Amino acid sequence: MEILLLGTAAGGGFPQWNCACRMCTADLPSRTQDCVAISRDGAGWYLLNASPDIRAQVLATPRLAAGPGPRETPLRGALLTDAELDHTLGLTMLREGAGLRVWAPAAVLQALRADFPLQGIVSRYGAWEWHQAEGSFTVDGLSVTAVPISDKKPKYVQSTADGPWVVAYRISDPAGGCVVYAPCLKTWPEGFDELVAGADCVILDGTFYSPDEMSGATAAGVGSGAQRAMGHIPIAGPDGSLAQIARHPGKRWIYTHLNNTNPILDPDSEQYKEVLAAGAEAPPDGTVIRV
């Protein structure tokens, strides 16, 4: 199984266009918004979330190049973890691709029909299929399990649909190899240890390094207590994900969905050295993973 990290930043990318914080002005390598492509055979590819940057991401990735026919593409569809705009807007950029298949939690499908009618918009361009991601199912030979992890709705949603609104995916190749994709974790939820057990690679929410990263008391100084309401577990601290990772040696831990304020964006920072020492990493866009 092959996994491509097309984008590794949180919404807005890095640097963020409307931000002049210390990190965004530090002349560090840029990152596009979080998106992953996965394939069992290297021929057919499925996106994990659909970034607004998807066009640039596809064009920068030779494995996803169109051909050999004039309108052929190796992209087959997408699995959405949630209904956030930075994880769904990319579908509008794929509207020329007829026959794509999309899986998402029921509440997310409802939001994309009613609150933000993306389903109706893109379906006018081609015969897309929309499937509910619930429990275990198969996608072109890959075994997929959708695990509810949060009921946090996007700001635009007015729907009263029951959750879950956010899921993580455990994806296994019967021939060998398993990855867990969880770019949006509010906490380390009950049952998550069992989900990652036996996985070769875990692609994990790395939005914020510390619990107060966006407060005026920090070097970032671009936000307030609203950070906690955004629903992302911090990396550091007693309740952070790094402490949990230490209990699961022997697998590859990758942080993605990095906010523009996160100091681990600087590979020379003390914070990133701590992440590496704990057995995790935050590789750049374009990284290829084989499991």
The pLDDT of residue 97: 82
The pLDDT, as a whole number, for residue 225 is 55
Side-chain-side CA neighbours of 28 within 13 Å: the count stands at 26
CA distance linking residue 64 with residue 212, whole number of Å: 38
Whole-number Å distance between alpha carbons of 53 and 271: 27
pLDDT score for 219: 52
Instruction: Give the pLDDT score at 160.
Output: 81
CB atoms within 10 A of CB 254: 21
Please give the radius of gyration of the chain, using alpha carbons only, rounded to the nearest integer. Answer: 18
Question: Model confidence over 76-106: pLDDT tens digits?
Answer: 999 999 999 999 999 999 998 878 999 999 9
User: Which residues is 180 bridged to in the sheet?
Assistant: 170, 202
State the pLDDT at residue 217.
42
Give SS3 for 82.
Answer: coil
Structure tokens at 165: 């609104």
Q: What is the rounded distance in angstroms from the CA atom of residue 60 to the CA atom of residue 79?
A: 21
Structural contact between residues 262 and 227, judged by C-beta atoms closer than 8 angstroms: no
Low-confidence ranges of the chain (pLDDT < 70): 216-229
- Dist. CA 252–CA 75, nearest whole Å: 26
- CATH of residue 188: 3.60.15.10
User: Cβ contacts of residue 275 below 8 Å, gap of 6+?
Assistant: 235, 242, 255, 264, 281, 282
Tokens of 59: 């064009």
**Structural domain containing residue 159:** 2-290
Give the separation between CA 122 and CA 17, rounded to whole angstroms.
27
* Tokens coding 89: 């807007």
Distance, in Å, from the CA atom of 234 to the CA atom of 163, rounded to the nearest integer, reads 23
**Rounded to whole angstroms, how far apart are CA atoms 95 and 158?**
25
Residue 81 contacts residue 169 (beta carbons within 8 Å): yes
Give dist(CA 111, CA 154) in Å, integer: 9
**In this structure, how many other beta carbons lie within 10 angstroms of the beta carbon of residue 190?**
8
- In single-letter form, the type of residue at position 251 comes to K
Structural domain count, the chain:
1
